[in-house]
């Protein structure tokens, strides 16, 4: 714990501890604050002087706890916390530098509520730091996202109206297992009852959510991030089957989960998956793998690789 905090700052830190750990003893408060027990009691006294009811419970299970109906002061950020928050917001949503942006407006309110010295630095950071937008990111509607998260927490089945990239729209009845943020995109990991399979829907393409009365239980030991990574490489329109002569252990670090499932073979390994965009699969994914390969499955991917190979071959042909 830093030693240059003021008594008021330590008292506020004491308040935070009592909020999260009701019944904390003077010894425990002292350990969290990095001070003596006597000093910890003094910070409790400062809170009481500020009309914040802190009750003392005696006995072997006693300690300090906040009284009922306690009205807490506004959240107080330290300088590193405030600057870290601004940096995280700009990193996640570069448009937040604009006060007209939804998140930018909220960030402005937070900055204005900060103490003057900290707020000045946070405002300067926001004004002078520039963030390049991620061209792959997509921002879903906050209310839609919140409705899905609420259904995940309540374990309630939902009806979602979904629009595909091609513009087709349909309604699906799904068990919402988790909401996952991956590389600037928000996904709903769910079990689709229509398809009787795991599905990964981009939340920015969900236009409506209706919670039903049906409950569900997610799979035991579910790892939402791993499940999304694995599922992104399956269920697309165009199948892919790529053979590598190199050992699986050498190829694996170069294979992104959405590319499919990498399996060992007699002379190397095989990548089995699917894609909605064969040209992107060939140009951005396969072209970056530094091993010889053969596309043995997926006519669309074979055509995309052949087109790419012809372009590259033409680029090094000497002109007469």
What is the pLDDT, as a whole number, of residue 118?
81
What is the pLDDT, as a whole number, of residue 144?
92
Q: 209 exposed, middle or buried (CB, 10 Å; 0-12, 13-18, 19+)?
A: buried
What is the pLDDT, as a whole number, of residue 120?
87
CB 50 within 8 A of CB 97: no
pTM: 0.62
Q: pLDDT tens, 27-61?
A: 888 888 888 889 888 888 888 887 788 888 876 66
* CA separation for the pair 185, 248 (Å, rounded): 29
% of the chain beyond a pLDDT of 90: 41
What is the pLDDT, as a whole number, of residue 298?
92
- Between vectors from CA 228 to CA 224 and to CA 234, what angle results, nearest 5°? 145
The DSSP code sequence of 112-180 is HHS-HHHHHHHHHHHHH---PPPTT-----HHHHHHHHHHHHHTEEEEEEEE-TTS-EEEEEEEEEEEE
What is the pLDDT, as a whole number, of residue 109?
84
* CA separation for the pair 248, 228 (Å, rounded): 22
Work out the widest C-alpha separation in the chain, in whole angstroms. Answer: 96
Q: pLDDT tens, 229-288?
A: 888 777 778 999 999 999 999 999 999 888 988 999 988 999 999 998 999 999 999 999
CB 165 within 8 A of CB 190: no
Q: Is pLDDT of 13 > 90?
A: no
Q: In the 3-class helix/strand/coil scheme, how is 2-21 assigned residue by residue?
A: CCCCCHHHHHHHHHHHHHHC
Token pair for residue 245?
């002569």
195: phi then psi, degrees, rounded to nearest 5: -90, -15
Q: Is pLDDT of 145 > 70?
A: yes
The strand ranges marked E within 38-115 are: 54-57, 63-66
């Amino acid at each position: 714990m830093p030693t240059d905090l003021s008594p008021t700052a330590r008292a506020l830190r004491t308040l935070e501890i009592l909020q999260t750990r009701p019944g904390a003893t003077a010894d425990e408060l002292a350990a969290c604050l990095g001070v003596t027990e006597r000093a910890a009691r003094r910070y409790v006294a400062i809170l009481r002087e500020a009309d914040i009811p802190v009750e003392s419970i005696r006995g072997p299970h006693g300690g300090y706890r906040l009284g009922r109906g306690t009205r807490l002061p506004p959240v107080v950020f330290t300088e590193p916390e405030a600057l870290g928050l601004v940096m995280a917001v700009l990193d996640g949503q570069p448009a937040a530098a604009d006060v007209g942006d939804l998140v930018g407006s909220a960030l402005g309110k937070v900055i204005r509520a900060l103490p003057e010295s900290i707020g000045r630095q946070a405002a300067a950071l926001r004004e002078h730091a520039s963030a390049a937008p991620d061209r792959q990111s997509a921002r879903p509607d906050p209310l839609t996202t919140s409705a899905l998260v609420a259904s995940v927490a309540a374990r309630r089945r939902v009806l979602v109206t979904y629009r595909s990239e091609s513009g087709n729209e349909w309604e699906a009845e799904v068990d919402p297992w988790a909401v996952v943020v991956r590389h600037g995109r928000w996904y709903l990991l769910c079990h689709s009852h229509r398809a009787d399979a795991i599905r990964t829907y981009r939340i920015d393409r969900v236009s409506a959510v209706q919670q039903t009365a049906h409950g569900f239980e997610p799979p035991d030991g579910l790892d939402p991030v791993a499940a999304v990574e694995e599922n992104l490489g399956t269920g697309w329109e165009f199948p892919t089957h790529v053979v590598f002569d190199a050992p699986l252990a050498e190829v694996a670090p170069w294979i992104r989960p959405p590319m499919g499932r990498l399996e060992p073979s007699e002379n190397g390994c095989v990548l089995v998956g699917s894609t909605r965009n064969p040209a992107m699969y060939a140009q951005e994914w396969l072209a970056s793998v530094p091993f010889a390969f053969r596309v043995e499955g997926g006519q669309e991917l074979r055509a995309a690789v052949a087109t790419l190979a012809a372009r590259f071959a033409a680029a090094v042909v000497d002109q007469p």
